[in-house]
Amino acid sequence: DAKTTQPNSMESNEEEPVHLPCNHSTISGTDYIHWYRQLPSQGPEYVIHGLTSNVNNRMASLAIAEDRKSSTLILHRATLRDAAVYYCILGSWNAGNMLTFGGGTRLMVKP
Residues that bind another protein (CB under 8 A): 34, 36, 38, 41-46, 49, 87, 93-94, 96-104
Instruction: Give min distance, CB of 15 to another protein, in A.
Output: 28
CB burial class (10 A; 0-12, 13-18, 19+) of residue 38?
A: middle
Between residues 14 and 61, which has the closer beta carbon with respect to another protein? 61
Q: How many CB atoms lie within 10 A of CB 10?
A: 16
Closest CB 26 distance from another protein, rounded Å:
18
Residue closest to 107 by CA, chosen among 74, 59, 58:
74
Q: Which is nearer to another protein, 81 or 111 (CB)?
A: 81
